[in-house]
Amino acid sequence: MPSENPRLIFAYRNIGRWTAPTLELTDSERTPLRLPIMGYVANSIATRETVKPWKVTVASKIKAARGMGPWDPQLYYAISIGFSFHPQSHGNRRRSDGQVHLDVENFVKPVIDGLAAGLFCDNDKDPSRIELWNYDDSNFNTLLIHRLPDAAKPEDEGIAISVSSSLSGGR
């Protein structure tokens, strides 16, 4: 599936246990960051007790994978996130077509908050000590959100994430 924007490519990448679709900037300044993050995928409607640990998990994994220092929030970013849910952990409510009923956008915000914190926080910042998840994500200008196959067991739930950045952007 070719992109209409020549600076973006669409590709399937192996990210942990999944083969996930990604959008990547072709003139990236660095190798795209691709990693699986396992754990209960909390949503923004959930309680603070479930959302904060999930944000901390995402921020910690991203920070560990990003390299020596924070990335520049002034660059342009293409972000791809694949979600694999364990249906029983999220109420197991089914639609008439058998698909688990989830309000997916409520799961995106905590991941984006954790991702921005992990990419942009200072080296000496411990993600578990972040109180305000207000890191600048305004240059996350290309987002691909994808539902991966459901997880059979709770420990198989998680996300596949891909991040690429560019000085010139994908506009």
Task: Write down the mean pLDDT value for the chain.
Answer: 90
Structural domain containing residue 63: 8-166
Amino acid making up residue 137: D
CATH of the domain at 156: 3.30.1330.70
pLDDT interval class at 6 (50, 70, 90): low
Q: Three-state DSSP class for 164?
A: strand
Residue that is written with structure tokens 């599936």 in the block: 1
**Predicted local distance difference test score (pLDDT) of residue 168:** 66
pLDDT digits (tens, 9 = 90+) for 119-132: 999 999 999 999 99
The answer to whether position 127 is within a domain reads: yes
pLDDT at 110 over 80: yes
The answer to whether position 171 is within a domain reads: no
The answer to whether position 3 is within a domain reads: no
- Count of the separate structural domains present in the chain: 1
Across 67-75, average pLDDT: 92
The answer to whether position 47 is within a domain reads: yes
Q: What is the DSSP string of 21-86?
A: EEEEETT-SSPPEEEEEES----TTS-HHHHHHHHHHHHHHHHHHH-SSPPPTTSEEEEEEEEE--
pLDDT digits (tens, 9 = 90+) for 137-165: 999 999 999 999 999 999 999 999 999 99
The answer to whether position 33 is within a domain reads: yes
**Cα 103 from chain centre:** 16
For 27, other C-beta atoms within 10 Å of its C-beta total: 14
The answer to whether position 58 is within a domain reads: yes
Contact 162, 80 (CB under 8 A): yes
pLDDT interval class at 92 (50, 70, 90): confident
**Predicted local distance difference test score (pLDDT) of residue 97:** 78
The answer to whether position 2 is within a domain reads: no
169 or 72, higher pLDDT: 72
**Nearest Cα residue to 88 out of 1, 151, 161:** 151
**Cα 137 from chain centre:** 12
**Predicted local distance difference test score (pLDDT) of residue 1:** 44
The answer to whether position 95 is within a domain reads: yes
